[in-house]
Amino acid sequence: MLFLYGVKNKVLKIIPLQIKKVQCQNCHTSNIQINFIGRYVHIFGIPLFSIGKTGLAHCTYCKQQLSKIQFTPPLRKEYQAFENDVKIPIWFNIGVIIITFLVVIPWLLALSL
Ligand SMILES: [Zn+2]
């Protein structure tokens, strides 16, 4: 099914954690990886603007997934340590940039005449 508009998710970075203090709650191994996910609003598949990023913890052994609100305190600490290193790419806002150049700047130029 074709969606004309909506929200898309894109994995920005995957960070494997091999730290004993961060264990999977399900299988108690240390095979956790954190996926940083960028989110943007799109029209016809073209990114319009970014609506931020979120995190997802994933156990590579038992495949359990935890959303950011389900993180344990040690996992949340590891997430926050890497959070500022993961940047949202500028192309997530390409729709707003194109609209600015096609609509707002000509409108401002027309006002100044
Ligand atoms: Zn597990």
Domain enclosing residue 46, as ranges = 5-112
Distance 52 CA to ligand 1 centre (A): 27
Pick the closest to residue 43 from 102, 96, 107, 105 (CA basis): 96
Distance 70 CA to ligand 1 centre (A): 14
- 88, 38 Cβ separation under 8 angstroms: yes
Encoding tokens for residue 100?
Answer: 């600015």
Mean pLDDT taken over the chain:
92
Distance 32 CA to ligand 1 centre (A): 7
β-pairing verdict for 5-17 and 65-67: unpaired
% of the chain surpassing 70 pLDDT: 98
Distance 27 CA to ligand 1 centre (A): 4
Looking at residue 1, what is its pLDDT? 53
Looking at residue 12, what is its pLDDT? 97
pLDDT tens-place string over residues 28-48: 999 999 999 999 999 998 999
Distance 29 CA to ligand 1 centre (A): 6
Domain total of the chain: 1
